[in-house]
Structures are given as C-alpha cells and as structure tokens.
Amino acid sequence: MVIKFEKILIWGRSAEEYTKMFGLTLEDNKLKIIDCAGGPASFNVEITRRGGNVVSCDPIYKLSKTEIARHIQEASREVMSAVQGNPDNFVWQDIQSPSQLLKIRISAMQEFIEDFSLGIQEKRYVTGELPTLPFADRKFDLALCSHFLFIYSEHLSEEFHLASIAEMCRVAIETRIFPLLDTSGKLSPFLLTVINQLIKQGYEVEIRQASYKFQKNGDKFLSVSKS
C-alpha cells in the first residue's frame, strides 16, 4: 500500500521528545530500536552518539538531503499555521510559544539533515514503509512509531493500522505508538477497534501514560507485544 507524501507531513522531533512520548528509560535506550516512519527526527543520531543502536525506516530516505529539506520547509509552514490558528489545542508548558516550538523542531531536523549521508552509509536510515518492513523477524527489541499511526486516521485505514502494528510486532519484541489522537485532537476512531482486534489475535496491549504534554489529551502511548 503506497501512501503519498503530500498526505503525510515530513516533520521530526528530538530524542528528548521521544523519551517523554514513549516513556523511554536509560535501559530502553540500550536496546536495538527501530524507529518506524522515523522521518527527519534527530532521535537516531542523538542515541547513536550515546552509543545506542537505532535504525530508522521511512520512504523519504530515498530522497536527497535537498529534497527532504524542501519538504521540511513546506511542512513547517503548515504546522505553524495550524498551531498559531489553534493555540488552545496545545499545552504551553515545556514548549512555551509557537516560536519556541519551531526553533526546537528545526534544530532537531537540522541534526538529522547533517547526519543523513553518514546514516545512509552506516545503514541507520533504511528506505522502507509500513505495513511491510525490510527486516527479519525479531531483529529488534523495541519498535517506535511517532505521529504516523492513529494521527493520520483520515488517510490510513483501520486495516492499514492493524497490518502495520502486526508488522512492527513481527520485527520487534515490543511496539510503542504515540499519540493516540487524530489530527483533530480527538481519540482516533480506530483505536478501540484496533485494540480489541489485537487482543483477539493474541497480542498483549496496554495504553500507558507518557510524560510528554503538548497536544491537549495527547499524553498516552500504546504498547503492543506478542505473547
């Protein structure tokens, strides 16, 4: 199933944000991690510098640095327009203003851009996309998926969500997904059905509290593992 880039914002976050979104501990960061739909996040390069083992997978990695940078600029305009037009939808605590938000995110994505060529050489950035990943079974300890599943419920079907989660659970022992909201700020209409289907298929599923607070009510992530 091919998802067109124009429907999905090419936008990235920092390792600090990942830590809060996914409840990552120091021990978690020592695991073999796959960042699915990782986009231009700086999580990979930051954890790699700390001696960690992270592979990011995304279809945008087939693009050049220049092309990715152009997509980031286009996304920044859309993101800032949405944030500035709906400030009450966000918690201005750790991030105190739209301008600070833009500064934090651009800084993270610039780290990614600077690391991209080396990361490609070291096979830390791998071209691929859900729901079919180019990795062997249980190659990783932990799969992370930030701001892709559930948030794009308008564009990604329930079937796509189930297939993608099953695929992440195939390549990793545990999968964590954040956030559980769609772009309107409401719980994804697929969330409860997806959870029920996963439980019926023998998965262990838990909604866990995150320490990340930016989008209102967007402070929980889904943990899924196969018994």
For the stretch 115-151, pLDDT in tens is 999 999 999 999 999 999 999 999 999 999 999 999 9
Report cis status (omega within 30 of 0) of the bond before 179. Answer: yes
The whole-number pLDDT of residue 5 equals 44
β 140-146/172-178 pair status: parallel
Among 161, 137, 139, 132, which residue's Cα sits nearest to residue 55? 139
Domain count across the chain: 1
CATH of residue 17:
3.40.50.150
Taking 70 as the threshold, does the pLDDT of residue 1 lie above it?
A: no
Name beta bridge partners: 140: 172
pLDDT in tens, 174-220: 999 999 999 889 999 999 999 999 999 999 999 999 999 999 999 99
Phi/psi region, residue 15 (left: phi>0; alpha: psi -120 to 50; beta: rest), is: alpha
Name beta bridge partners: 90: 215
The whole-number pLDDT of residue 6 equals 54
pTM: 0.95
The whole-number pLDDT of residue 68 equals 97
Domain that holds residue 194: 5-85+93-226
Nearest-5° Cα angle at 216, 210 to 217: 55
Average pLDDT over residues 73-93: 93
pLDDT band at 2, cuts 50/70/90? very low
Among 73, 19, 67, which residue's Cα sits nearest to residue 46? 19
